[in-house]
Amino acid sequence: MKTKKNESRLHVLFVLENYYPNIGGVETLFKSLAENLARNGHRVTILTTRLSLSDPPKEIQGNIAIHRYRFLNRYFFTLFAIFPVLKHARCCDLVHTTSYNAALPAYLGARLLGKKIVVTFHEVWASLWLTLPFMGWLPKRLHYLFEQMLLRLDFDRFVGVSGSTSESLRKAGVPAERVMTIYNGINYQDFTETDAATAPKKNSIFTYTYFGRLGMSKGLDILLEAARLFRQQCPDSRLKLIVPTQPAGFLKQILGDIEKKGLAGHVSILHHLTFGQLKMELASSDCTVIPSYSEGFCFAAAESIALGVPVVSSGRAALKEVVSGRFIEMEDMTPGALAAALQKARVGEWRQTPLKKFELSDTIAAYENLYFQLSSEPLTKRQL
């Protein structure tokens, strides 16, 4: 996709709960987006959380200005980030934010200052909030209500990161003319055959790997019970968990479940891997496993496929769009179904489809074109 040429240069404010050096697919996306916008002559200001005292509160990188503020947690970001938003949005042409915690302060600041605003929704859970594990009755309902409130705000554009997410936005009542799809993308040059070729050789122990954040929608409850069942069928197998150490309470709960299920000798846990180390661990696995209750896009799936590592997937939401190559879908969302899928993976009963690619360059071009489109539209009454 080509961007518009010879347009006036823009000044875009990103309001993001987390940004580099925090590691994640979304952080990588916005870092790449900021760098490419700056390379094309635009100015980018980034307002985000200062996660560590070692991170500079202000950082200038050419046309990119990063302002990091200390917030006690993500809920405090929602409550108090409006003040730095009001400070930095005054001189910007438009504001870009994401679901969930950054969206409200970004919206309020943009509307108070009469600025256009884009929100990228990474997924829409709707009633799924009320059924997910690892969260109590009241927090589930409060998070559900917060999402419903965000969906009713009049952002100028709602960007869904997959067709599934965009459809969920429309079903939730967002006007179709304000919804557009921009798939998340990855840089395929970062995932080469060399990564797989230099990985440690697979041995007789069947290894299946989960990697990604600790989230209640990720199906970790299903995964651990499935691991218990699968180990009974295949004692010479191992589950590898590559996860962050935060949220600490969530990790503690996962570790407790591993002990309760007698999986201490079956599960290995890795933290804080470099990108190179992560690729080596994935390439040396027999498959990755993604038993999510929902996925808005799923960088883990796209990256596994780019490395040539087959995927065992729940097939929920955007996973049907993103997963390709060699894969197996669970028949239902139960531990038994996942254990059965792993058994198929162990004997090589893969489904094969043509590979799909989600190029980062296409993602960046689509956002840049969206910014130009919005900046050329007249302000409406709600923005004045």
pLDDT digits (tens, 9 = 90+) for 356-378: 999 999 999 999 999 999 988 77
Tokens of 109: 């600041």
Pull the structure tokens for residue 30: 């916005």
Give the SS3 label for residue 127: helix
Token digits of residue 309: 């590592």
- Beta strand 11-15 with 43-49 is parallel
- Alpha carbon 214 to chain centroid, angstroms: 12
d(CA 44, CA 61): 10
Instruction: Return all residues near 235 (Cβ < 8 A) that are at least 6 apart.
Output: none
DSSP letter for 237, please.
E
Length of the chain: 384
Task: Report the alpha-carbon distance of residue 147 to residue 7 in Å, rounded.
Answer: 35
Q: In b/e form, how buried is each residue of 332-355, taking b as 16+ CB within 10 angstroms?
A: eeebebbbbbbbebbeeebeeeee
Q: Mutual orientation of helices 103-112 and 82-89 as an angle, nearest 10°? A: 40
For each of the domains in the chain, give its residue range(s) and CATH number, in order of start: 11-185+360-383 (3.40.50.2000), 188-353 (3.40.50.2000)
What are 177's two structure tokens? 């003319």
Task: Check residue 29 and give its pLDDT.
Answer: 86
From CA 279, how far away is CA 187, in angstroms rounded?
14
Select from 130, 189, 172, 179 the least CA-distant residue to 157. Answer: 179
Q: How far apart are CA 216 and CA 212, in angstroms?
A: 12
Residue 293: closest CA among 225, 227, 218: 218
Q: How many CB atoms lie within 10 A of CB 174?
A: 24
The pLDDT of residue 246 is: 84
Is the Cβ–Cβ distance between 109 and 82 less than 8 Å?
A: yes
Digits of tens for pLDDT over the chain (384 positions)? Answer: 555 544 589 999 999 999 988 877 788 889 989 999 999 999 999 999 998 899 999 999 999 999 999 998 899 999 999 999 999 999 999 999 999 999 999 999 999 999 999 999 999 999 999 999 999 999 999 999 999 999 999 999 999 999 999 999 999 999 999 999 999 999 999 987 556 556 665 667 999 999 998 999 999 999 999 999 999 999 999 999 999 998 899 999 999 999 999 999 999 999 999 889 999 999 999 999 999 999 999 999 999 999 999 999 999 999 999 999 999 999 999 999 999 999 999 999 999 999 999 999 999 999 999 999 998 877 665 554
Instruction: Report H helices in the chain.
Output: 25-39, 74-80, 82-89, 103-112, 137-151, 163-171, 193-197, 220-233, 248-260, 275-283, 299-307, 319-322, 335-346, 360-376
pLDDT for 361 equals: 92
Which tokens hold the place of 339? 């254990």
Residue type (1 letter), 351: R
Taking Cα atoms as reference points, which of 108, 83, 214, 104 lies closest to residue 148? 104
pLDDT at 171: 97
Cα separation, 360 vs 23, whole angstroms: 17
How far from 264 is each of 239, 257, 261, 299, 334, CA to CA, in Å?
10, 10, 8, 28, 22
